[in-house]
Amino acid sequence: MAASDAPLSIIIIGIGNGPAYRLEPIASIFTNFSGNLLFQLITIADLIDAADTLSENRSRIAQKALRAIPEQMTDFMHAANIAAKPPIQVS
């Protein structure tokens, strides 16, 4: 796969009532050659709480969907021997 060496994360959000495990075989397609998982599946049904506001539910979905990306990015940087640059000082 051409993108297997790139810092790419794929997030699939299941919105139906079907079983989420049926989408898990897709994960093997999105595992790069070094064994890093580039794929994340979340299901909205597991995250929606009818007692919460729309804003709270949206926030929970976004948080769950984006949770793994920083770790995937740092794993990529370590594997590619890319050092983080120092923070930019703003006055």
Average pLDDT across each block of 10 residues of the chain; the chain has 91 residues. List them in order: 67 78 72 64 87 94 88 84 89 82
Q: What are phi and psi of 51, to 5 degrees?
A: -80, -15
For residue 34, the model assigns a pLDDT of: 57
pLDDT attached to residue 50: 92
Per-residue DSSP letter, 7: -
Query: Which H or E element spans position 59?
Result: helix 54-66
Query: What's the confidence (pLDDT) of residue 52?
Result: 95
d(C-alpha 44, C-alpha 16), whole Å: 8
Six-digit token string for 7: 């810092």
Q: How far apart are CA 80 and CA 86, in angstroms?
A: 18
Taking the model in full, what pTM does it have?
A: 0.63
- Domain residue ranges of the chain, discontinuous segments joined by +: 2-79
